[in-house]
Amino acid sequence: MSLRRYLLKSEVLLREADLDLHNNCFNKAISAYWSSIEALLRAFLLAIKKSPPERAGKLISLVSKELKKIDPYADHIVASINQVYIHRRNIEHRSKLADPRLAKYIAELSRIIINHMRKIISALISETNSAIWH
């Protein structure tokens, strides 16, 4: 899948996550917030010409390494990504059920991650475009 398709997918999934949260579907919201982030992480790796791993853990690990090279806020962002993923895994694959507090916390973290990653990806795309034209 292309970078732009992942960006679009992330946007659509974020809208769905917000709708789920608004409708008190807390478990679905957490899954959708993670999926939106996951699509952006794949877009980020494609933007730096790296192949995104299939498995989510490996994906976070590679993003962590690459982000650290270019982003002074990498530690904070990767810590937030890890938190969202850990909670999502417990909600989606284990017996834990989400409560409103957890869902709102994940929504807050996800917005920070998504806004930050969008800025990074936009900068990377502009850089590539400018290199093509000069």
List contacts with another protein (CB under 8 A).
53, 55-65, 68, 74-75, 78-79, 82-83, 86-87, 89-90, 94-96, 101-102, 105
Collect all residues with Cβ–Cβ distance below 8 Å to 119 and sequence separation of at least 6: none
- Is the CB of 11 or the CB of 48 nearer to another protein? 48
We find the least distance from the C-beta atom of residue 19 to another protein, in angstroms, to be 23
Integer Cα distance of 43 and 56 in angstroms: 14
- Is the CB of 37 or the CB of 63 nearer to another protein? 63
Integer Cα distance of 107 and 19 in angstroms: 11
We find the least distance from the C-beta atom of residue 81 to another protein, in angstroms, to be 9
We find the least distance from the C-beta atom of residue 2 to another protein, in angstroms, to be 24
Size of the chain in residues: 134
